C-alpha cells in the first residue's frame, strides 16, 4: 500500500498563443504548486480497479481520471493484479486547480513505486499527457513553465513559500467551454511571461504579484462578474495580486506574510464557505 499527496496548482500566468489544427490550443503558462492536496492511497488487490471517493461531483467509476491512469499502467505493463484507489478529496472540484490531473499524476507515480515499474520522470510524463494536458506538470510540480498544450515542462527558479488565499465561487466551470468562447484575436492584455521568469530568478515576489495575468479571465468574468468582485475584495485586504486560476472559477490572492493573510482570511471566511488559506510549496 502506498499513500501520496496530490497537490493543487495555480497559474501565475496563462497565455493562449493560438489554436492548433487538432483543436487544442498552444499555451504558455507559469504553474505553481500549492500545499493544498488530496490524499491518494493505492492498495494492490487481486484484479480490477476500484475507486473510493466520497466527494460530490466526483465519479467513483471508470470516468474518474485516477481510474484511467491505473488502467493504462495495468494494460501497458500487463500487470497480473488490480488496485483499490482511495481519494480523499480536499481540492475543490472543477475549480481551475488541476485536482483531477494531480490525482492521476499521483496514481502514475504511486503505481510506478508499488509495482516496481522502473519508469523515469519523462516516461511518466509521456503517459500522463495521454490522460490530460495538466498531468505532466503535476508529475514534475514546483514552479514551472508549461508550453505546448501544457505538456512541455521547464522547471523555473522556486518561488518563496508565501501564503495564498483561494476563493471558489459555488459553481464549477468547464475548461472546454471557456476555450470555446475565447476569441484569441481579441486578447489585449497578455502576461509578461519573460519578465515574470526574470522576477522568479530575482525573487521579486512584489513584481510577480503585480503582474499576475490570465487571458481566460475575460471569458469567465463575462459569464460571472462575481470573479471581479472577489479579486477586488482580496486586493482590498492587502493581497499583493489576485487573478483567476486556470479556466476558473477559483480566484487566488498572494500575500506578503502570514499575519496579513490570516487577517484577510478571517474577514473573508466569515462570509464565504469556499475560502482556503494555503501556501506556495515546491514539494
Ligand atoms: P484543470 O485545472 O486541470 O482544468 P479543474 O481543477 O478545473 O482541472 P477537476 O477538479 O480536475 O477540474 O475536475 C474536472 C471534472 O473532472 C470534474 O467535474 C469531475 O467530474 C471530473 N473528474 C474525474 N476524476 C476526477 C478526480 N479524480 N478529481 C476531480 N474531478 C474528477
CA of 174, closest atom in ligand 1: 7
103 lines ligand 1 (CB under 6 A): yes
Residues of the chain with pLDDT under 70: 271-273
Q: Tell me the CA–centroid distance for residue 206 and ligand 1, in Å.
A: 31
d(CA 68, CA 228): 36
Provide the annotated active-site residues: 9, 134
First to last CA, the chain: 21
CA of 134, closest atom in ligand 1: 3
The reply, when asked if residue 161 is annotated as ligand binding, is no
98 lines ligand 1 (CB under 6 A): yes
66 lines ligand 1 (CB under 6 A): yes
Give the phi and the psi of residue 52 in degrees, each rounded to 5.
Answer: -120, 110
Give the phi and the psi of residue 191 in degrees, each rounded to 5.
Answer: -65, 150
Cβ atoms of 32 and 280 closer than 8 Å: yes
Q: How many whole angstroms from its chain centre is CA 124? A: 18
pLDDT of residue 188: 86
Query: Can you name the residues that pair with 31 across neighbouring β-strands?
Result: 11, 144
pLDDT of residue 133: 92
pLDDT per residue over 229-262, tens digit each? 999 999 999 999 999 999 989 999 999 999 999 9
pLDDT of residue 43: 98
SS3 23: coil
The reply, when asked if residue 93 is annotated as ligand binding, is yes
Q: Tell me the CA–centroid distance for residue 61 and ligand 1, in Å.
A: 14
Domains of the chain by start residue, with CATH:
2-155 (3.30.230.10), 163-279 (3.30.70.890)
Amino acid at each position: 500500500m502506498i499513500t501520496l499527496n496530490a497537490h493543487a496548482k495555480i497559474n501565475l500566468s496563462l497565455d493562449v498563443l493560438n489554436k492548433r489544427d487538432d483543436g487544442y490550443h498552444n499555451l504558455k503558462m507559469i504553474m505553481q504548486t500549492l500545499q493544498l492536496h488530496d490524499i491518494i492511497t493505492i492498495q494492490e488487490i487481486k484484479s480490477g480497479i476500484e475507486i473510493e471517493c466520497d466527494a460530490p461531483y466526483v465519479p467513483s467509476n471508470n470516468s474518474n481520471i485516477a481510474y484511467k491512469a491505473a488502467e493504462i499502467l495495468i494494460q501497458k505493463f500487463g500487470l497480473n493484479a488490480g488496485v483499490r484507489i482511495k481519494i480523499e478529496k480536499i481540492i475543490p472540484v472543477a475549480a481551475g486547480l488541476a485536482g483531477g490531473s494531480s490525482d492521476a499524476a499521483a496514481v502514475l507515480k504511486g503505481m510506478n513505486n508499488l509495482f516496481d515499474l522502473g519508469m523515469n520522470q519523462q516516461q511518466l510524463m509521456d503517459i500522463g499527457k495521454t490522460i490530460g494536458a495538466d498531468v505532466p506538470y503535476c508529475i514534475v510540480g514546483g514552479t514551472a513553465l508549461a508550453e505546448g498544450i501544457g505538456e512541455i515542462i521547464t522547471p523555473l527558479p522556486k518561488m518563496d513559500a508565501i501564503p495564498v488565499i483561494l476563493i471558489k465561487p459555488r459553481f464549477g466551470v468547464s475548461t472546454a467551454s471557456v476555450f470555446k468562447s475565447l476569441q484569441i484575436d481579441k486578447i489585449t492584455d497578455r502576461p509578461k511571461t519573460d519578465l515574470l521568469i526574470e522576477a522568479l530568478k530575482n525573487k521579486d515576489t512584489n513584481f510577480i504579484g503585480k503582474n499576475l495575468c490570465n487571458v481566460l479571465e475575460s471569458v469567465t468574468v463575462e459569464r460571472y462578474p462575481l470573479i471581479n468582485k472577489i479579486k477586488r475584495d482580496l486586493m482590498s485586504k492587502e493581497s499583493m495580486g489576485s487573478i483567476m486560476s486556470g479556466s476558473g472559477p477559483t480566484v487566488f490572492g498572494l500575500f506578503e506574510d502570514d499575519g496579513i493573510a490570516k487577517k484577510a482570511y478571517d474577514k473573508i471566511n466569515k462570509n464565504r464557505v469556499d475560502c482556503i488559506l494555503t501556501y506556495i510549496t515546491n514539494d
